[in-house]
Amino acid sequence: MNEAAQELEAINRQIEEAKKKIARKDALMRLEQNPDFKELIQKGFLESHAIRQVMLKAHPGMQSEAMQKLFDQQITAVGGFKQFLVSIVSEGLAAQESLASDEATQEELLKEALNNE
């Protein structure tokens, strides 16, 4: 495979990956509009559950090492899940920005390939 063909193949992979990231971001954006998602995940898990874990961690009857470790794990899990959701949006937005450029590069490479034939 010549250099131009390799470059075209690489840019095609980048475009497909960008489209997947954009689709994931769009899916999450739709999901975040769903009333059940809002109630169960945003309010129930990311807010109420997180607050409950912090409050229980401070409770005088929950100061054993095992309980404190459990609360730390629960709080970390909430933060990790929230960061996962944020990363989907961030990656999707970055992919949207790069997609147009990648598609323009793809078009240029295809034109070059046709001219060289």
- How do residues 36-75 score in pLDDT, each as one tens digit? 999 999 999 999 999 999 999 999 999 999 999 999 999 9
Global pTM value: 0.84
What does the domain layout of the chain look like in residue ranges?
Answer: 3-115
The most distant pair of C-alpha atoms in the chain lies apart, rounded to whole Å, by 78
Q: What is the mean pLDDT of residues 91-111?
A: 93
pLDDT of residue 32: 97
CB within 8 Å of 62: residues ≥ 6 apart: 56, 68, 71
CB within 8 Å of 6: residues ≥ 6 apart: none
* pLDDT at residue 111 is higher than 90: no
pLDDT of residue 117: 67
Residue 66's nearest CA partner among 45, 74, 55 is 74
Q: How many Å apart are CA 57 and CA 38, to the nearest integer?
A: 25
Q: Please answer whether residues 5 and 13 qualify as being in contact, where contact means their C-beta atoms are separated by less than 8 angstroms.
A: no
* pLDDT at residue 92 is higher than 90: yes
* pLDDT at residue 23 is higher than 80: yes
H helix or E strand, kind and range, residue 1: none
Q: Identify residue 78 by its one-letter amino acid code.
A: V
Residue 14's nearest CA partner among 86, 79, 99 is 99
